Amino acid sequence: MPWRDQAERLIAYAEPVSRAGLYLSLGIIYAWFGGMKFTDYEAQGLVPLVENSPLVSWFYALLSVRGFSNFLGFVELSIGLLIVLRLASPIFSAAGGLLSAGLFVTTISFMISTPGVVVPELGLPAITVAPGQFLLKDVGLFAASFWVFVDSLKAVVRR
């Protein structure tokens, strides 16, 4: 069997498996992150990120630290559920993917507004483990979320 035929067989098998893996892994990430938002540990960990952000700091005028964290936990659990509901209908995962991409754009912006992202003595491109590298991973999660949105929207349109 020529290598192209073998590659096509592998793609035919691997593509749906990797698609399901991406949807499920984002669902697991959101379940874990969202569930942690209901703890004081996580609520306090958000403070330096939220209070320095011009995009979301105003939430602390409306909600307590725990109240905002609980709200964010509800949002994250909902996004994760929407993404996993691709199994029921791609319209759900399209909404979840779009919301997820928006959430990660917000967290990526924390790299600009949060003190301590850059290692001062080294300068850019050297970033700290936390919060720098912790926030940088959201670039990949944004890309995965946007892919989920586009893949799901394509499935909705082509029904």
Q: Domains of the chain: which residue ranges?
A: 3-157
pLDDT tens for the 159 residues of the chain, in order: 799 999 999 999 999 999 999 999 999 999 999 999 999 999 999 999 999 999 999 999 999 999 999 999 999 999 999 999 999 999 999 999 999 999 999 999 999 999 999 999 998 899 999 999 999 999 999 999 999 999 999 999 998
Cα–Cα distance between 139 and 116 in angstroms, integer?
18
CB of 109 within 8 A of CB of 53?
yes
CA distances from residue 114 to 21, 52, 99, 143 in whole angstroms, order as listed: 32, 6, 22, 22
Q: Model pTM greater than 0.75?
A: yes
DSSP for 15-69 reads: HHHHHHHHHHHHHHHHHHHHHHTTSHHHHHHHHHHHHT-TTTTTHHHHS-HHHHH
Place of tokens 């499920």: 24
